[in-house]
Amino acid sequence: MAARGCGGVWRRALQRGRGGSCSASRLRRAVACNARGGAVPLGQSGLAPWAPIVGLEIHAQITSNSKLFSGSQVQFAAPPNSLVSFFDASLPGTLPVLNKRCVEAAVMTGLALNCTINKKSLFDRKHYFYADLPAGYQITQQRVPIAVNGSLSYSLCKDNKMSQMVTKTVRIKQIQLEQDSGKSLHDDARSQTLIDLNRAGVGLMEVVMEPDMCCGEEAAAAVRELQLILQTLGSSQAIMAEGQLRVDANISVHHPGEPYGVRTEVKNINSIRFLAKAVDYEIQRQIKELESGGTVLNETRAFDSKLGCTVPMRDKEGKQDYRFMPEPNLPPLILYDAKSLPANVNHQQVVNIDWIHERLPDLPSVKRAKLVELYGILPEHSFTLMNEDGLMDFFEDVVKQTQMKPKKVIGWILSDLLSHLKQNSLTAKESPISSFFLADLLNLLENGDISSSAAKQVFEELWKGEGKTPLEIVKEKQLELIQDQEELEQICQAAIDEREKEVMAIKGGNEKVINKLIGLVRKATRGRANPLLVKQILEKKLSE
Amino acid sequence: MAAAEPLRHRSDALPARVYDVTNRFRWRAMRALGLCRWLRGGTVRAFGLGAATASSALPPQDGVTVEVLDHLERLALVDFRDAEGVERLREAVRFAERLREVNTEGVEPMDSVLEDRCLYLREDDVTEGSCTAELLKNAREKVEEYFVAPPGNIPLPELEERDTFLKRS
């Protein structure tokens, strides 16, 4: 296949050995961008570029009341083995009964990812032995999954600049329904494992992405977009920290034009940030290994977040033979659309693809476009609004309650509020400043009651969360703009009288020095003077 | 291609099961198979009736090699135990091989007789669970309502290190 990025620009690392004072930092991580805009790490010698290939397998836990094949409850934290039915514990004589909600969730996700929904899909058994898999097999869909051949579009900041966003696409190979396994707690001290089957049997959607990505940043952006889509659809809450979204990365490197390299699988990735780190580390590790003459083993590695590196996993023994076999207890799953819907059918027993399609909510990409159109903000602004949890709702609340234009409001939201939130690791919902107070503050600013620097002071005060309204703070700290023209003129005159040297310079033609006088006035008024007005008054006085 | 000869009695169709304790039907099945083969001629690979005493020096023609047996022991955690166990496996393979005589070109494989049935869809209600005590009743070891299992997967030792019949075959 044609090398990706052909026709692109390959920037080569500086050649080694130029003089004796070649610093290591120049050679260390020279990265070129190919035509697709992705980062391609160059080797140390800078001669042959490496093309990394990243594919992802994502397991998303379906949001439903009960499990995929049994009627026990799905809940995150519960007393051990309290949400387990006889089927989940794999006691003899039990049979799987498919949950309609899980099927609908999978169809919704498939439609949102532009997949072809298979009207007839089959269930299979995947056999392997592990203590948290009581049956010794997992019911999955290996031969004919519920949805195939989709695509996911995501946005990346090019060269870390928010203003240059590129849209990329990754192909979705398939989406399948499968069972989750239980949880094992390893007690190394007593050489035993404690098994909790509360999670065993919970419905999962496995989203298999084709290896179309080439670096950690792309993988992270794709997963973030998928997370937003799942949360918008409601098919999964997709919180990685609670294990509702699990990502395994398959990584390999090769020279463009040559056959693909050996790939490794990286597991135990617990957040999107760690995903990017794990992928980048593994790419670098493989490049280093191959350049020093070694080989890459086809193995499974775990990501150690504390050390920031991947280590081989003990428990995986070579290539597993899962002995897939058709699940004999489940007939094929038949889905219908408006055309194929048979008459005289019990509607509860039917999953109608068209019916679900009509009721799909607005996907994140559509929502972003709507924000841009509705509020006149830039695409990268709407990207950040949607990216941060709860920020979009906060923004819309403020806009509703203030007279300030959304274009100006967005500046306050993205620079002031967001930076404070990030510094304190808070989400928009946890903000100590409510949207009501912020709207109040912006109204004061818009009406000309305070200057923008005073507004920033009020913002800091509000951030302390002591419950005072913006107006109270303004009165308390006496931050109102001086409206009295006379008072302003007096202060300006005082500044002119004080600084004779500057006055001479201005009168001599150096106009920039007036800023010094404006600064003086600002200090004297403690930010309560409108700078434009001050400039006008000063200019008038100086020209007299 | 001729279809398989109809079996004279259903018991002739007994698959040779590895776990089968009784030997009663073994000789009957062997004789019936042998007879069928003789009647049909040489379409099936000719195995002698003395397969039970097959020399271990010859590589088996049915693909049941020591590597395959080791692989199966590892995957399914069964123990073939002795030559009789291995022979039962061979019989099972031979029995299944007869399916190849049927021309199935263009025919979709059937994996379940339920394939025309409707897959029942359950409403998403919580109807089970909260039976921790019952579930743990039969557990040999438990710790505070958790099941106790050995740590991780203890892999089956390699062939050289195992004390198994397969090494001597």
A194 near B146, Cβ under 8 Å?
Answer: yes
Query: Are B129 and A192 within 8 A, CB to CB?
Result: no
Residue bearing the bigger pLDDT, B53 or A85: A85
pLDDT score for A456: 84
Q: Which long-range contacts (CB under 8 A, 24 or more apart) does A528-537 make?
A: A528/A450, A528/A451, A528/A454, A528/A478, A528/A479, A528/A480, A528/A481, A528/A482, A529/A451, A529/A481, A529/A482, A529/A488, A529/A491, A530/A448, A530/A451, A530/A481, A530/A482, A531/A451, A533/A488, A534/A488, A534/A492, A537/A488, A537/A489, A537/A492
Residue bearing the bigger pLDDT, A523 or A199: A199
Residue bearing the bigger pLDDT, B91 or B64: B91
Give me B13's structure tokens: 């169709």
Q: Show residues of chain B in contact with A103, CB under 8 Å.
A: 121
**Structural domain boundaries, residue B140:** 22-167
> Is residue B84's pLDDT more than 80?
yes
pLDDT score for B69: 87
> Is residue A367's pLDDT more than 50?
yes
Assign A4 a pLDDT band (cuts: 50, 70, 90): very low
pLDDT score for A8: 32
Question: In chain A, what are the domains?
Answer: 51-326 (no CATH), 364-477 (no CATH), 485-543 (1.10.10.410)
Rounded to the nearest angstrom, the minimum Cα separation between A277 and chain B is 27
B3 lies in some domain:
no
Tell me the per-residue pLDDT of A227-283, one tens digit each, with 9 for 90 and over: 999 999 999 999 998 999 999 999 999 999 889 989 899 998 999 999 999 999 999
A477 DSSP 8-state letter: H
pLDDT score for A42: 52
B10 lies in some domain:
no
Query: Which residues contact residue B55 at a Cβ distance below 8 angstroms, ignoring those fewer than 6 apart?
Result: none
Assign A6 a pLDDT band (cuts: 50, 70, 90): very low
Assign A57 a pLDDT band (cuts: 50, 70, 90): very high
> Cβ–Cβ contacts within 10 Å for residue A157, how many?
15
Q: Tell me the helix, strand and coil percentages in chain B, rounded to 5.
A: 40, 5, 55
What number is the ipTM of this complex?
Answer: 0.73
Tell me the per-residue pLDDT of A428-449, one tens digit each, with 9 for 90 and over: 888 888 888 888 888 888 887 7
> Is residue A183's pLDDT more than 90?
yes
Query: Are A98 and B132 within 8 A, CB to CB?
Result: no
pLDDT averaged over chain A?
Answer: 84
Supply the pTM of this predicted model. Answer: 0.76
B17 lies in some domain:
no
B15 lies in some domain:
no
Q: Which residues pair with A72 in a beta bridge?
A: B128
Rounded to the nearest angstrom, the minimum Cα separation between A355 and chain B is 17
SS3 of A194, please?
strand
B7 lies in some domain:
no
B14 lies in some domain:
no
Residue at token pair 């590597």: B67
> Cβ–Cβ contacts within 10 Å for residue B62, how many?
15
Residue of A nearest to B138 (CA): A91
> Is residue A110's pLDDT more than 90?
yes
- Please give the Cα distance from B158 to B71 (Å, whole number): 10
Average pLDDT rounded to a whole number, residues A185-209: 93
A265 near A290, Cβ under 8 Å?
Answer: no
B101 lies in some domain:
yes
Residue of A nearest to B127 (CA): A71
> Is residue A492's pLDDT more than 60?
yes
> Is residue B66's pLDDT more than 90?
no
Average pLDDT rounded to a whole number, residues A391-414: 87
Domain count, chain B: 1
Average pLDDT rounded to a whole number, residues A318-347: 88
pLDDT score for A25: 36
B145 lies in some domain:
yes
Query: Are B131 and A188 within 8 A, CB to CB?
Result: no
pLDDT score for A458: 83
Highest mean pLDDT among A247-256, A294-303, A416-425: A247-256
Give me A321's structure tokens: 């033979």
| Calculated CA dihedral for residues A141, A208, A184, A80, nearest 10 degrees | -70
Rounded to the nearest angstrom, the minimum Cα separation between A123 and chain B is 11
> Is residue A27's pLDDT more than 60?
no
pLDDT score for B60: 61
Average pLDDT rounded to a whole number, residues A28-48: 46
> Cβ–Cβ contacts within 10 Å for residue A127, how many?
17
Give me A384's structure tokens: 């950040």
Give me A318's structure tokens: 């070579």
